[in-house]
Amino acid sequence: MTALGEIIRGMIRDDGPMPLDRYMALCLGHPEHGYYVTRDPLGAKGDFTTSPEISQIFGELIGVWVAQVWEALGSPRRFALIELGPGRGTLMADMLRVLAKVEACAKAVEVHFVETSPTLRAEQQARVPKATWHHALASLPAQPSIIIANEFFDALPIRQFERKDGRVFERVIGLSGEALEVGLVPSAMELRMRGEGIFEDQSLRVAVAREMADQIATQGGAALVIDYGHVRTAFGDTLQAMHKHRYVPVTEQPGEADITSHVDFEALGRACVVEGAQVAGLMTQGDFLNAMGLEARTEVLSRTIEGEARTNLVAASERLAHPDQMGHLFKVMAVTSAGLAPPYPFGAR
């Protein structure tokens, strides 16, 4: 049992079964033993690899999207480019390299990171030294904003409820002897959806999406949310833990494994509309990247290299966009302030 596992086991002995959102919050953010507090989880030596770490092209194409949105906003003299959960800062560094080619945009941009991990903050500062860091969205500046959230919402804690035989139960972490296990306790939760199965309550994600949308609605701007998930709210258990690039039980290594679940894009979209923003479009990551010029950019870069490096470049682009890899599972949602036309490629005809 990990050090955090021992702490959680003691908490359950004292207080009873623990809701999944509390368990996830401890596993990922415990101040001493939390997963994101104690390590850099990315890359071959970590537990998973995100799109910006797969290929520089990913960040470059999003940089092009940012430049387009900045122009659509009227090319403001100052604007905040905000990234939620920026990992190592790789995505922002790649975006800024593109924005540097648009002189007025490069002069106007102010970089803001929303990040709680001290380990990752150090990585980000090494790549993007001229940035401002925030622990939460509440302290973001009052100015036109473009927000990027790549694989951010999937790690925010969720609760799970299960309806079976007409009754609703909450899924919790309890003890079986000395081992942690997932169990059920009766719940007063009312599920408006018909049918039976496991329902994932994403209330915290909805709350953060509302904060994001409020920033956009009040200051003007747009957001790009990229994550793996589903288009419609539905029953299903998508909670998963990842350790050393393999799936493990969520109770196996508390604090040592990444715990995430699929994002409910319909719920996020509704939350954004409530705050006065508008959902400009939703598409698969593959469709988005291909529309933004993935194939052409891959071809240009491939001319400058050869051999194994060229093979790896092409394979990375395929991994990002192919339907059987990340291309279909990952979705891209654009959110804008009222009155702003849907940015390309969401408004393309």
Chain segment 134-164, per-residue pLDDT in tens: 999 999 999 999 999 999 999 999 999 999 9
In angstroms, the CA 198 to CA 196 distance is 7
Report the candidate in 336, 324, 330, 322 with the shortest Cα–Cα distance to residue 269: 336
Interval 51-99: pLDDT, tens: 999 999 999 999 999 999 999 999 999 999 999 999 999 999 999 999 9
Judged against a pLDDT cut of 70, whether residue 168 lies above it is answered with yes
Judged against a pLDDT cut of 90, whether residue 335 lies above it is answered with yes
Whole-structure pTM value: 0.95
Residue 274 has which token pair?
């409530």
In angstroms, the CA 126 to CA 180 distance is 39
Report the candidate in 342, 216, 334, 330 with the shortest Cα–Cα distance to residue 274: 216
Contact yes or no for 212/147 (Cβ under 8 A): yes
In angstroms, the CA 337 to CA 278 distance is 6
In angstroms, the CA 294 to CA 345 distance is 13
Q: Which pLDDT score, from 0 to 100, does residue 42 have? A: 75
Ramachandran region, residue 334 (left: φ > 0; alpha: ψ -120 to 50; beta: rest): beta
Phi, psi angle pair for 228, to nearest 5°: -90, 140
Residue 7 has which token pair?
């702490």
Residue 18: beta bridge partners? 173
In angstroms, the CA 107 to CA 110 distance is 8
Residues contacting 4, CB < 8 A, separation 6+: 26, 27, 30, 33, 34, 254, 255, 256
Ramachandran region, residue 244 (left: φ > 0; alpha: ψ -120 to 50; beta: rest): left
CA dihedral 316→322→327→328, nearest 10 degrees, is -160
CB count within 10 Å of CB 245 equals 11
Contact yes or no for 41/117 (Cβ under 8 A): no
Ramachandran region, residue 89 (left: φ > 0; alpha: ψ -120 to 50; beta: rest): left
Interval 180-233: pLDDT, tens: 999 999 999 988 888 999 999 999 999 999 999 999 999 999 999 999 999 999
SS3 319: helix
